[in-house]
């Protein structure tokens, strides 16, 4: 891999250039948040235990012997090993916290208190710090619960609504609440930095996966609170819209996302079944939702006449929301076809790694990807020199 020192000259000055982030987090929610900040120019110093971030050992898959899970969420960072049980390393951790603009941590609740790295201790010497704490279930009754995304998917109710009526509950195919919490952490940090710009002081942000889950389930949690109706598993159907689901074709399935009456009329015209629009069972979205099991076979009979790819091209041209069910490779390929440029290269020089680009485009200060995910303690010596005031490595 290209050393991070060699990449310094090519670090773009993104919108967060000059911001120092002390990253005491590990696994996914925190590292995803700090990677997004790093993409935008922040100097992120990843503090790791001598064992390293757990995701370094999460395999398969691997790339050149390194976990791709780790590689996917740790670009543009610098790694330093600090054993907080060691007094000298603990003092370096405190020095880093005193110089940082942002600190992100996901230790067990109050876990950093014994090291003098809790918010109150850090803010006593660094009142401008924006300090983000991420837990699984908060710091009160859920303080002792381990904060794993899968547990949150189970306890939040997400699994109860994921799957078909005749299947067991399923988890999401990605740690969705870790990702949502990381996004909330990123937006909260930026809001707190904006506040600091006018008020002159930082603050403590507390995030937990459980609250992020209940917020992220939007219409399902909101629908229950507002109506008392308990959501249930209905497979790939939408509880409030139809047709909004996969349908069988001559080969494979195509997803229809028909969200209003105008789109339904256009779909019926395209399928040469205009009479369905006049049928009182299907006249409005509410009617279609109530009579979905009667409407489904009528649409499927027509959709079976062509392949999913053929229907996609026809419906795409007609402006009807539809899509074949692709795999991950197909998803990346389609994004490329649309000109979204989803794949970037991390690092500089000849030895680079592919990755998915930062999801936001900036017209003036675009994200950059000069640093590949660091090996364990790759920047330990440089970080120590910086903490002693000898060098800035791009800060």
For residue 203, report the phi and psi dihedrals to the nearest 5 degrees: -165, 170
Q: Name the burial class of residue 64, with classes exposed (0-12), middle (13-18) and buried (19+) by CB atoms within 10 angstroms of its CB.
A: exposed
Give CA angle at 249 (246, 252), nearest 5°.
75
Measured distance CA(240)–CA(117) in Å, rounded = 48
205 three-state secondary structure: strand
Q: Name the burial class of residue 144, with classes exposed (0-12), middle (13-18) and buried (19+) by CB atoms within 10 angstroms of its CB.
A: exposed
Measured distance CA(386)–CA(395) in Å, rounded = 9
- The token pair that represents 189 in the structure block: 């940090």
Annotated catalytic residue, options 39, 149, 178, 208:
178
User: Which DSSP letter does residue 277 get?
Assistant: H
Measured distance CA(395)–CA(392) in Å, rounded = 5
- The token pair that represents 118 in the structure block: 């809790």
CB neighbour list of residue 175: distance below 8 Å, 6 or more residues apart: 28, 149, 150
State how far Cα 43 lies from the chain centre. Answer: 20
Measured distance CA(106)–CA(99) in Å, rounded = 20
One-character DSSP codes across 192-217: HHHHHHHHS--EEEEEEHHHHHHHHT
149 is catalytic: no
What are the residue numbers of the active site?
178
């Amino acid at each position: 891999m290209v050393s991070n020192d060699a990449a310094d000259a090519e670090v773009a000055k993104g919108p967060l250039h000059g911001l120092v982030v002390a990253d005491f987090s590990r696994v996914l929610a925190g590292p995803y948040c700090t990677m997004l900040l790093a993409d935008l120019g922040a100097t992120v110093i990843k503090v790791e235990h001598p064992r390293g971030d757990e995701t370094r050992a999460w395999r398969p898959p691997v790339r050149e012997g390194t976990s791709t899970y780790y590689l996917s969420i740790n670009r543009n960072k610098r790694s330093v090993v600090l054993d907080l049980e060691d007094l000298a390393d603990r003092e370096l951790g405190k020095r880093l916290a005193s110089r940082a603009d942002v600190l992100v941590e996901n230790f067990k609740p109050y876990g950093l208190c014994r090291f003098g790295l809790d918010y109150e201790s850090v803010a006593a010497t660094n009142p401008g710090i924006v300090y983000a704490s991420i837990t699984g279930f908060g710091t009160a009754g859920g303080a002792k619960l381990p904060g794993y995304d899968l547990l949150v998917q189970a306890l939040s109710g997400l699994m109860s609504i994921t799957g078909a009526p005749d299947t067991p509950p399923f988890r999401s195919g990605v740690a969705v609440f870790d990702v949502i919490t990381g996004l909330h952490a990123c937006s909260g940090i930026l809001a707190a930095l904006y506040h600091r710009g006018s008020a002159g002081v930082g603050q403590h942000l507390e995030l937990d996966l459980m609250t992020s889950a209940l917020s992220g389930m939007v219409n399902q949690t909101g629908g229950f609170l507002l109506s008392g109706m308990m959501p249930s598993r209905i497979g790939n159907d939408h509880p409030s819209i139809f047709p909004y689901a996969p349908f069988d074709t001559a080969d494979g399935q195509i997803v229809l996302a028909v969200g209003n009456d105008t789109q339904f009329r256009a779909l019926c015209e395209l399928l040469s079944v205009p009479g369905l629009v006049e049928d009182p069972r299907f006249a409005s979205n509410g009617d279609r939702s109530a009579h979905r099991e009667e409407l489904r076979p009528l649409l499927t009979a027509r959709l079976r006449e062509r392949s999913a790819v053929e229907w996609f091209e026809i419906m795409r041209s007609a402006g009807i929301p539809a899509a074949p069910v692709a795999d991950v490779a197909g998803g990346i390929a389609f994004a490329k076809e649309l000109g979204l440029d989803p794949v970037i290269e991390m690092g500089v020089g000849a030895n680079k790694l592919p990755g998915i680009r930062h999801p936001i485009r900036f017209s003036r200060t675009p994200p950059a990807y000069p640093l590949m995910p660091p090996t364990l303690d790759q920047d330990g010596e440089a970080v120590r020199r910086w903490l002693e005031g000898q060098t800035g490595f791009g800060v």
